[in-house]
Every structure is written in structure tokens, then in C-alpha cells.
Structure 1
Amino acid sequence: MSGVVSIVGCGFVADLYMRSLQVMDGITVAGVYDKDASRLTQFCAHWNVPKVGSLDALLEQHPRNGVVLNLTNPSAHFEVNSACLAAGCHTYSEKPLAMTLEEAKVLHAQADAADLMLASAPCSVLGEAAQTLGHALRTGIAGTPRLVYAELDDGFVPQAAYKKWLSESGAPWPFEDEFRVGCTLEHAGYYLGWLISWFGSVRTVVAASAEVVPDKEGDGPFAPDVSVATLFFENGPVTRLTCSIVAPHDHQIRVVGDEGVLSCKAAWDNSAKVTFAKRMTVRRRLMESPLPKAVKLPQPTHPKVKRWGAAAMNFMLGPAEMLDALRAGRPSRLSNEFALHMTEVTLAIQNAGETTGAQPMTTRCDPMEPMPWAR
């Protein structure tokens, strides 16, 4: 693999990209910009990457066969993504793509008009755990999938020692921004990406969201801190997806099929174990096997990153996929349609509130081509 990226934004998440970059041979950083000059200097000195004095200068010098990584705060995503596209740059955005569906559709139209790639994090859908589970579904290990339960609960975060959470280069965890943006916009994509890659478009979202822990630290208003969604796919099983920063930590996904249950317990670990528990009857009792079998793909798959904090994810799998697609002259698996559809579904869940009811989706995307090592 090879290619060039430029980085906009040097906050907490940028260090996770740089950690991942260390295991990706051949990908170099052309330049980095952040509007906070001291943060920019600290970040670039820590990682030994070149700093650039303005966004315009960064976009002007950026190679057009490379990818710009927009790692700014979510409130700036639309503006920065639009500027990158206007400059003729393929763009990979941290989640969410934009804070409203209208803005996301504008970006999608802008990218399509300019024949540019526009992708959105998270890219764990390209990781080994997601690809292993997808392979198991395609090969019918569990039979026809009938129901999916997916959890993205992170514990009672408002009581966590989050002021002590620092990135490797010294950036604090942006707790106010996290509480304002909300756990659904921040985290739903981790399993939504997997699900949409396997089953394609969500037809209807029936969801509810609420803020159940008031008076969080910082300036509000704050987003819902819990959401529960039922997703109806055009060609897939009914799915329940739960996000919260209140309930005890649980990142499990279970796919219930005619023959048994496929499971993975760690959304944020590319190497998380995927298992299959066959359904059986023992002395008239129906049960899943208490000794589930591991489901594995032939190795090697992709470069792995050691655990740091809560995650063991290679954040550069997405940009690397885009660079490979550019080099090979093929469509990227992280398509513009994928980014837009995932954004619409996520926003529908986040903004559901108490009385929205069923929401028909207005965007569509096809299932994702599996990685070559997962076919």
C-alpha cells in the first residue's frame, strides 16, 4: 500500500490515526493544519510531521491523488468537508459527515459533481472482526439471519474521570463536545457500518432517544445520551441497535439465525473473536451451545494496532481503502452513498425523541464488496 494524506485537526482522535499510520507501510503525511497554533505545534513535534499555516495552504499543496482527513470537531465537519471538495480533494471525514441530513446531501452532491470520493468514519467495517462476521453470514453458517441485537453502551460516562483522558500528544478528551454531539452520532456508525455493509439499505427507522442524565459538565444544550432503534432493512433482518453513555459497558452484537447465533463482543477491536453457537435440543430443552465455536478467516488480514485506551482499531483502514481504490481505478468500498446513508440513519436515531415514530429513509446504498482476504 502507498499514498499520501493531509490532516485537518489535531485533537484527541488525530493521535489514534497517527498510531495507526505507524503500521501502514508507504502512507505518508503531506501536511497538517489546526486552527489552534499551539496544539498544531505540539502534535507535529510529537509525530514528526510537517505543519501548514492555513487550511487554504494545506489544500493547495495537497496531492490530488491523495486523501484529506478531516479530523476536526463535528460542528466544523460540513464547512471543512465542503472546502476540501471545493479544492478538488478526495475527503475522508471523521463521524458524523455533517450535523444535518440537508448538509450531508449537499456534500454528497458536491462530491458527485466533482467526481470525488467522500467517505465517513468509522472504518472498522473494513476490519477483521466485521469482515469475519460478514463472511459467516454469506456462507450461511447460522442459516438465514432473522434478528440482530447490537449494543453500543459505554458505561456511566458523566461520572468517569474524563478530565484525565489525554491523547498521546497531550490533547484532552473533548467532553463538552462529546456531550453536545451525543453518543449516537459518535458511536452508532460502528455497528451501522457493519450492518449496512452486509445488508444494504435501511428502509425504515423506528427509534426513540432521550437525555436521561441531566446537568452534565459544560455548556449545553446536550444531545440525547441514550437511543434505542429498530431498523427495517430492505434485504436483511430486523435489527435493534442501542447506544448510550449510561448503561453498563456492552459492545456486543448477536445475529440470530435459523441454525444458531453468531456473536462478537467488542465493536472497537479489529481482532475481536467471532463465534457461532449452534442451536440444539437437549432433553427437551431448546438452547444454544454453551461451547460456541470460533469463526476465523485465513491470515494475514490487515495491519493491526495494539490497544490504546478503549480501542484496538486501525483508524487508517478507511483512508488506505480510498488510496488503494484511487491507485487501482476502482470504486471505493467506502462509497459516497454509503457515507450519506449511514449519516441519514444515524441522524434519524439521534433526533427521534419521544414521538417521531416510523421514519422512511430517503437515501440508499448497496451492500459492500468484501475485502479480498474475506471472500
Structure 2
Amino acid sequence: MATIAFIGTGFVADYYMTTLANHPGLMLAGAWDREPARLDRFSTFHGVRAYGSLDECLSDPGVDIIVNLTNPESHFALNCSALEAGKHVYCEKPLGMTYDEAVKVIELAETKRLTVCGAPANGLSDALRLTAQLIEAGRIGTPRLAYAEMEDGPVFKDNWRDWRSRSGAAWPGLHEFEVGCTLEHAGYGLSWLVALFGPVAGGQAFSALAFPDKGPGTEGRTLAADFSVGCLSFESGVTARLTCGLAAPRDRSLTIVGDEGMIVVGDLWDDRSPVHLSRFDEKPPLLQRLAGRFERKRGRVLPLTLTRGKPVRYPFPPSASSLSAFPSRIDFARGIAAMAEAIGTGEVPFFSGRRALHLTELALALNGGIGAFEPKSRF
């Protein structure tokens, strides 16, 4: 049993509360937030203890892991404070707002012999497990190319000001526009890519503010890039492209092309996303063949998109029974549970330490659109 405490009770905290039920080995001691009204609303709704201050939370001798759910600009300072208090840290992305900050967090943890893990937990999903099994079994031959999409649709044109979490916390849309969708979303694609293909050797990054006018309430604000694309070269030989955006039609898919076939993962935000497999030496499914014949006969493209290949049945039962509502069908608490289990057995959690630093460095590079880059971090 590992005891944890939440710091930050905003929109994302309810995702963690919903999925905490999947992990009986985790016990929530309480929560703290710098906004008393938000903390009271969260603690009352979920029936959890509300700490009176940050110091009270960090000094609680019964807490093993601090779960940092504050805004990105607060991550670095809070991570360091928690480590100085002798606590392990599970941090929402990123570890810090600069590479140097992230390095200091990891080095402090190593000095203190403590563990720092980084979100997101979708890199531990059932869908990734299935995809990895297909690759390891040689179903598509050697992976060569990957396309990861993190397009969230024209969010700023939606009624985002009315979005609320289960406990009533507002979605921090304005803040996300100011920080940038890449820092918020690139990790969902990067965690998959790094888990499947290992570290990145180098890449090219580009980002832009394509829509400077995000509507009422954003006037006069300094907004971050709402589009980014990165081309990544992995040490394993795989080449990948990752896009992030807040305007193009929603697409959170991953396509992996190998020598002998292709895997398409429908939604990286879905713990058990549909996974399709196609091989170059096999006939496509009947519907895809009929659609191809129709297009060739009529000389035009059909106004629909069929996922290439056949759906793969999951050979193992679901790992999570409680997930948040669509679209965030991620077991958010799984990352904390995996961390606690590894610490308990003396092992190194997968998304911890230098690997967590590597993911943060990649996200920062893509967000900054810095052109050619070679990661300094290695694992």
C-alpha cells in the first residue's frame, strides 16, 4: 500500500480520482490547492481530507508520493519542494518549463535517492501493450515509420468556457492557449513512441500560432503556438512524425508502418483503443476492397475514411474497470500505481528519471519549434 497526496485540485484532478478506483494499492491521504474554494469543492465532492496548507501536506509523515497536478509553471518549484521534503513525486507534464529546470528536478531526485515519474499514463495502456505484442511478434516486420496525431479540433470555437469536471472545476482553456497545446498534448504521442521505439537521436521541430484570435476573453493575451510538428529520428532506426494542434479535425491516431504491414491505433486517449492490423501480403477486408473498386470505377474519392486493416482482438482482459468519460478514456492513476509498485520492489519505474527527462526535453523542443535539435538527455 502506497499513500499519496494530490497537490492541485483543478480539472485534471477529477480524472485521477475517477481512475484511482482501479488501484486498491493506492491510498489518498488528502489534497491541497492554493485556491480554497476549489479545494473545498473537490474535497467535499470526493469526501477526501483537505490539508490546511502546502507545508502541512508536504510534512505529512504518512505520505509517500506527492502527485503534482498544478499548472505547468508551478511544476518545477513544487517538484523540488516535495523532493526536499523527502517525498517521491509523480508530476503532470512537463517536469519544468525549461530543460535546465527538468534536469535540476531529476538530479535532485537522484541526490535524494527518490523517484520522479512523469505523466501521461496512456503510455502504460492496454492498447500500447497490444501494439507492442504485435510488433514483437513480427506481425508487421521491422517498424520503419510512424505517424502520431494529436489534433484536438477547433477547441477555441467550442463552448470551452462552460466545460466542467465532475467536481465542478473549470477547464483552464485560457491558460492552455497561453502555455501551448504542445506542452499539454505532445506527451500523449511521445510516451507511446518512446515506449515502443526507445530514445530519440535527433529531430526537426516547427511550431506556429496559426490562430492568434481565440475569441472573447483572449484579447491582449500572449498566446502560445497552437500548431506544431516534429520529425523524430529514433536510435532504433524508426522515423516518426508527431503533430499537435487546436484547429484541424480531431485525430489522436497512431500509424506504424513496417516492412511487412501496418498497425493503426485509433485513439491514443483510449485505454483499449481499436487496433487494426494489415499485412502487405494479404487481401484487405471486403469493405475496403469494394470501396477501392467503386473509387476506381467512378474516378473519385469516396467522402469517407476506412481504417486500413482488420481489428485485432485483445487477448487479455481490461486492466481498468473505471475510466473517465469520453474523450479522456485514460487510466490516469495507472502511472502512480506503476510507480508505487516499482518503488516497492526496488525497481525503476518505466517513465521515471532520465526517461521522464527525455520526454520533457522532446516536448519542450517541439513547443519551441527550435528547428534541428539533438536531445541532451539519454536513458
1:59 partnered with 2:58: yes
Deviations 1:206-231 (A, max 9, x none): 01100000122436311100001100
Q: Distance in 2 between matches of 1:223 and 1:208?
A: 13
Deviations 1:316-358 (A, max 9, x none): 0000001111221211122211110000011111101xxx431
1:183-242 deviation per Cα after TM superposition (whole angstroms, max 9, x unaligned):
111011111001111221101120110000012243631110000110011113100101
1:370 aligned partner: none
Contact map agreement 1:67 1:322 (CA 8 A) in 2: no
Q: Secondary structure at the residue paired with 1:208?
A: strand
Distance 2:194 2:98 in 1: 20
Q: Is the 8 A contact 1:204 1:233 kept in 2?
A: yes
Corresponding position of 1:294 = 311
Q: Deviations over 1:274-297 (max 9, x none)?
A: 111111487xxxx99987233344
Contact 2:18 2:323 in 1 (8 A): no
TM alignment of 1:35-184, pairs within 5 A: 35-63=34-62, 66-184=64-182
Q: 2:371 aligns with which of 339, 357, 366?
A: 357
Residue correspondences, number: 356
Distance 2:321 2:125 in 1: 9
**1:33-76 deviation digits (Å, cap 9, x = unpaired):** 11111111110010011110111110111435x21100001111
Matches of 1:269 and 1:57 in 2, distance apart?
A: 36
Conserved? CA contact 1:183–1:224, under 8 Å: yes
* Alpha carbons of structure 1 residues 227 and 291: separation in structure 2 relative to 1, 3 Å: closer
Mapping of residues 157-236 of structure 1, within 5 Å? 157-216=155-214, 217-218=217-218, 220-236=221-237
Structure 1 gap ranges (5+): 366-375
The alpha carbon displacement at 1:301 in A equals 4.6
Distance, in Å, in 2 between the alignment partners of 1:162 and 1:221 is: 19
Corresponding residue of 2:296 = none
The 2-side partners of 1:346 and 1:331 are apart by: 22
Is the 2:31–2:43 Cα contact (8 Å) retained in structure 1? yes
- Partner Cα separation in structure 2 for residue 213 and residue 317 of structure 1: 35
Q: What is the TM-score when the length of structure 1 is the normalising length?
A: 0.91
Give the distance between the partners of 2:191 and 2:308, measured in 1 at CA.
Answer: 29
CA change 1:343–1:48 in 2 (3 A) is: same
> Secondary structure at the residue paired with 2:343?
helix
Report the equivalent of 2:27: 28
Tell me, yes or no, if structure 1 residue 332 matches structure 2 residue 331. Answer: no
Alignment partners' CA distance in 1, 2:202 and 2:57:
40
Inter-CA distance 106–46: structure 2 relative to 1 (3 Å threshold) = same
Q: Pick which of 255-264 and 133-142 moved more.
A: 133-142
Task: Measure the CA separation in 2 of the matches of 1:42 and 1:150.
Answer: 37
CA distance in structure 2 between the aligned counterparts of 1:306 and 1:176, rounded to whole angstroms:
26
Q: 1:112 to 1:291 in 2, by over 3 A?
A: closer
CA distance in 2 between partners of 1:137 and 1:220 (Å): 45
1:12 to 1:257, Cα distance in 2 relative to 1, 3 A: same
Deviation at 1:305, TM superposition (A): 2.8
Instruction: Please say if residues 270 and 304 of structure 1, whose CA atoms lie closer than 8 Å, have aligned partners that are also in contact.
Output: no
**Residues 290, 341 of structure 1: CA spacing in aligned structure 2 closer, same or farther, 3 A cutoff?**
closer
Q: How far did residue 309 of structure 1 move?
A: 4.0
The answer as to whether partners of 2:323 and 2:329 remain within 8 angstroms in 1 is yes
Asked if 2 retains the 8 angstrom alpha-carbon contact of 1:277 and 1:292, the reply is: yes
Output the aligned Cα RMSD: 1.8
Contact 2:15–2:324 at 8 Å: present in 1 too? no
Match of 2:335 among 300, 314, 318: 318
5+ long unaligned stretches in structure 2: 284-288, 293-305
Aligned-residue offset at 1:132: 1.1
SS in 1 for 2:147: strand
SS of 2:102's equivalent? helix
Q: Structure 1: which amino acid aligns with 2:372?
A: A
Contact 1:304–1:313 under 8 Å retained in 2 = no
Percent same amino acid at aligned positions?
A: 38
Distance in 1 (alpha carbons) for counterparts of 2:118 and 2:27:
20
Counterpart check, 1:305 vs 2:319: no
Match in the other structure for 1:258: 259
Q: Is the partner of 1:35 in helix, strand or coil?
A: coil
Q: Distance in 2 between matches of 1:291 and 1:263?
A: 7
The higher radius of gyration belongs to 2
